[in-house]
Amino acid sequence: MTDHDTPEFRSGFVCFVGRPNTGKSTLTNALVGEKIAITSNRPQTTRHTIRGIVNRPDAQLILVDTPGLHRPRTLLGQRLNDLVRDTYSEVDVIGVCIPADEAIGPGDRWIVEQVRTMAPSTTVIGVLTKIDKVAPPSVAKQLLALSNLLGPEAEVVPVSAKSGAQLDVLADVLVGLMAPGPAFYPDGELTDEPEQVLMAEFIREAALEGVRDELPHSLAVTIDEVIPREDRREDQAPMVDVHAILYVERDSQKGIVIGHKGSRLKHVGTVARGQIEALLGTKVFLDLRVKVAKDWQRDPKQLRRMGF
């Protein structure tokens, strides 16, 4: 192949949207090939826009993982929605995620309506997620329903982030929709998120697992300090001390997070520490404290302190 025949390098931004718990963050992680967005079966787990970078010889895709668009009940909810709306207008392609194992409902139609209203000129595709959960006839039926929802001009791709099925096809479709352009990030970089943001997210993800429904929205995590351990001997591996605070809104929630004799908080620390060590590439001492910040989701001053 001559230089004249070499396809032009393409690059651009993609945002996956959908109801909470449609697999957007899991899909982002699968395409990037490494965990950069937290996942949970709890609605509205994602609270920041996190950029994941897919590097290919012919292209670079920047996947913008956003909170799920929803009807807000708090100031935090409103700010998360504003974050999503800003993202819609800045990306090149919006992928509407619909799970294969759930019928399309009013919530899905509302989100598509919001996308069309806020980003009328942005290319929209359909992504049918979780196809590993249903039989092929059900996948075909849901693909038709998704195509009818988005219209004949929108491409529709079935995928499974869990098994990896069709991820390469989805990446090819997205690359084909991008304009020729340079890479935005150095080759090999997988996210532009600061390490402290990712650390806080990993702790929050661990704390969300197995808790009652009222807690997830009331839980926030901030990193207080990250300090390299100075007193290590030459024959010892480097270590970093990470001090984090988990905020809840009520004393009863504090008890849930800590657990009987500290058992839950200890488990959260063990799970999160493993992910933080993988992120930093060094041993970590993780110190977790739980504090009550009454009604922080509705308090502008407290929201600012927690980064919202």
Annotation-wise, does 45 bind a ligand?
Answer: no
Annotation-wise, does 138 bind a ligand?
Answer: no
Cβ atoms 219, 212 nearer than 8 A: no
Annotation-wise, does 176 bind a ligand?
Answer: no
By DSSP bridging, strand 59-65 and strand 50-55 are antiparallel
Within 17-135, where are the H helices?
24-32, 75-88, 106-118
Annotation-wise, does 131 bind a ligand?
Answer: yes
Q: Which residues contact 132 (CB under 8 A, 6 or more apart)?
A: 160, 162, 163, 165
Closest-CA residue to 240 (of 283, 278, 199): 283
Annotation-wise, does 46 bind a ligand?
Answer: no
Backbone angles phi, psi at 54, to 5 degrees: -100, 115
Annotation-wise, does 2 bind a ligand?
Answer: no
Annotation-wise, does 66 bind a ligand?
Answer: yes
* DSSP H/E element including 208: helix 195-208
Cα 40 to Cα 267: distance, rounded to the nearest angstrom: 17
Annotation-wise, does 132 bind a ligand?
Answer: yes
Cα 194 to Cα 165: distance, rounded to the nearest angstrom: 30
Cα 308 to Cα 300: distance, rounded to the nearest angstrom: 9
Annotation-wise, does 141 bind a ligand?
Answer: no
Annotation-wise, does 280 bind a ligand?
Answer: no
Annotation-wise, does 67 bind a ligand?
Answer: yes
Annotation-wise, does 130 bind a ligand?
Answer: yes
Annotation-wise, does 187 bind a ligand?
Answer: no
Q: How many Cα atoms occupy the beta-carbon half-sphere of 283 within 13 Å?
A: 7
Instruction: Render 125-141 in DSSP notation, one character per residue.
Output: EEEEE-GGGS-HHHHHH
Annotation-wise, does 23 bind a ligand?
Answer: yes
Annotation-wise, does 12 bind a ligand?
Answer: no
Cβ atoms 16, 24 nearer than 8 A: yes
What's the CA angle centered on 42, arms 263 and 31, to 5 degrees? 110
Q: How far is CA 213 from CA 41, 42, 44, 217, in A?
A: 11, 8, 12, 9
Annotation-wise, does 18 bind a ligand?
Answer: yes
Cα 203 to Cα 256: distance, rounded to the nearest angstrom: 15
Annotation-wise, does 79 bind a ligand?
Answer: no
Three-state SS at 307: coil
Extract the annotated binding site for GTP: 18-25, 65-69, 129-132
Extract the annotated binding site: 18-25, 65-69, 129-132
